[in-house]
Amino acid sequence: MLHVAPNADALRAAESMMPSVASGMHAARSRAHEECRMADGTRIEVFANVGSLAEAKLAMEYGAEGCGLLRTEFLFLES
């Protein structure tokens, strides 16, 4: 839900959650290159949609195993 003009209590509540969220993101990034599996053990391949070399590098850094959609028109426009 989006709050356009949150009150002070809502802001404090959101700010108090920030360390926990940051910690969770750090934990997720530290496991980014592990195989992804569902609770029942089923393997899931993680692919990224990219439109530039920079996006491909970032996707790999965050654990992508391949390219799902390559936006070749973006590559053409960059050249």
DSSP labels for 9-63?
HHHHHHHHHHHHHHHHHHHHHHTTTSPEE-TT--EE--EEEESSHHHHHHHHHTT
Closest CA to 63 of 44, 35, 43: 35
- What pLDDT digit, counting tens, does each position of 39-53 carry? 999 999 999 999 888
CA angle 16/21/26 to nearest 5° reads 140
Model confidence over 54-66: pLDDT tens digits?
999 999 999 999 9
Rounded to two decimals, the pTM is 0.64
Cα 10 to Cα 8: distance, rounded to the nearest angstrom: 5
How far is residue 56's CA from residue 61's CA, in Å, rounded to a whole number?
A: 9
